[in-house]
Structure 1
Amino acid sequence: MIGLVLCGGQSVRMGADKGTMLVNNQTWASLAERKLKSLNIPVKFSVNTGQEAIYSNLFQKENLIPDNQTLHIGGPLKGILSVHLSAPAEDLFVLACDLIKMDISLINKLIHEQKQHPDFDAYVFLNNEFYEPLCGIYTAKGLAKIVKFYKEGNLKKHSMHATLDLLNTDKLILPAAERSCFKNFNSPTELNEL
């Protein structure tokens, strides 16, 4: 398994690259990396091509995986599939860099669930009947199915929700007390909630 920090968003509403923003003197991307490294797995960073120079000053270049330009899709799925194509045999534990309140206990719950029920394609939390797709496990076999759909022209929607609907997804109910862990920060005014 590879830990994957998603940093490739455009951060338009925030007005700054979210992965390079600081909390407690560390970048949001470093914070996500630390949480994934608690699983004792290698960690990579999904970046868009415009971010490579900046992130190579923060992390080892070999740990940066830029978006695959042959994939004509957008959003987080492009980053996830780009990493899958670079390491097709590996399951991916995906964590978005802006989920800075994510608790390691939830990460461990997903790992435990996969060990207990290994036959699913993906493992994510369900929050009031909505997927929380940016902290989850995407198996190599599940991602291979999505690539096949894409190559055959059958991947009609590129949202993570639509993608999870195409897979045999294990949906863990997110307790109300843990919903704040999935708060993502998209604009400067939301930073007041930190």
Structure 2
Amino acid sequence: MLGVILCGGQSSRMGEDKGLILSNGRTWAQSAFDTLSNSGLRVVVSVNNAQLRAYQDIFSKEELVVDDERIPVYGPLRGLLTVHEKYGDDLLVLATDMPQVNGSIIRELQHAVTSNKQAYVFKHENDIEPLCAIYTSQALTTIRDLVARDQLKKHSLKYVLSLLDVHEIPIGKEQHKYFTNMNTPGDRNSR
């Protein structure tokens, strides 16, 4: 299994690249990388072309995977399919704008894995969390094939998950805080 930090978003609401925001002397991308690495995973950082130069100052060339713009999808799915094409492993994904996710959350996700599901996600109330999840290689191959046949109607990860056999891990009330996406300066200041 390969850990993937998704950094390829536009960060338009935040007004700056969320992966490069500093907290306690580390960027959010570095902190997410450490969280996955400390959970025993080899980790790569998914970025888009416009971000490459800034991230090369932080991560080694081997740790960076640049979105393949020839893949005709958008958003986090392009990053996942690019990493899948390069490595072919099951992917444990963590978005860079979820800085409160810690090692215990990642270990809970890892321990949920069985051999008969295509994806593993956390669920709170009626909503799933697609950006702290495991996507199996088999699931990503299925999605890639749908894309190749122009049969994937939507590119959102929630839609993709609706097409897969998913194991849902309930989030307890005390765990809600770990799954907060930081999308605006207000979100960041309310931490």
- Give the TM bin, normalised by the shorter chain: over 0.9
Amino acid of the structure 1 residue aligned with 2:142: K
What's the secondary structure of 1:170's corresponding residue?
strand
What is residue 61 of structure 2 aligned with on the other side? Answer: 61
User: How far apart, CA to CA, are the structure 2 residues paired with 1:104 and 1:57?
Assistant: 25
How far did 1:15 drift? 0.7
Tell me the alpha carbon deviations over residues 86-118 of structure 1, each in whole angstroms, 9 at most, x when there is no partner: 112x1111000110011221111111110xx22
What is residue 177 of structure 2 aligned with on the other side? Answer: 180
Residues 8 and 47, structure 2, Cα contact 8 Å, conserved in 1: yes
User: How far apart, CA to CA, are the structure 2 residues paired with 1:176 and 1:151?
Assistant: 40
Residues 72 and 147, structure 2, Cα contact 8 Å, conserved in 1: no
Amino acid of the structure 1 residue aligned with 2:38: S
What is residue 23 of structure 1 aligned with on the other side? Answer: 23
User: Could you list the runs of 5+ residues in structure 1 that have no partner in the other structure?
Assistant: none
User: How far apart, CA to CA, are the structure 1 residues paired with 2:187 and 2:147?
Assistant: 35
Q: Does 1:153 align with 2:156?
A: no
Amino acid of the structure 1 residue aligned with 2:8: G
What's the secondary structure of 1:181's corresponding residue?
helix
How far did 1:39 drift? 2.1
Q: Does 1:119 align with 2:116?
A: yes
Taking only aligned residues, the RMSD between alpha carbons, in angstroms, comes to 0.8
Instruction: Give me the TM-score of the superposition, normalised by structure 2.
Output: 0.97
Q: Does 1:74 align with 2:69?
A: no
What is residue 138 of structure 2 aligned with on the other side? Answer: 141
What are the equivalent positions in structure 2 for 1:75-114 lying under 5 Å apart?
A: 75-88=75-88, 90-114=89-113
User: Could you list the runs of 5+ residues in structure 2 that have no partner in the other structure?
Assistant: none
What is residue 161 of structure 2 aligned with on the other side? Answer: 164
Tell me the alpha carbon deviations over residues 137-169 of structure 1, each in whole angstroms, 9 at most, x when there is no partner: 111011001001111111001001000011111
Amino acid of the structure 2 residue aligned with 1:187: T
How far did 1:62 drift? 1.5
User: How far apart, CA to CA, are the structure 2 residues paired with 1:45 and 1:91?
Assistant: 15
How far did 1:45 drift? 0.4
Amino acid of the structure 2 residue aligned with 1:70: R
How far did 1:44 drift? 0.3
Instruction: Give me the TM-score of the superposition, normalised by structure 1.
Output: 0.96
Amino acid of the structure 2 residue aligned with 1:123: Y
How far did 1:188 drift? 1.2
User: How far apart, CA to CA, are the structure 2 residues paired with 1:160 and 1:70?
Assistant: 19
How far did 1:184 drift? 1.1
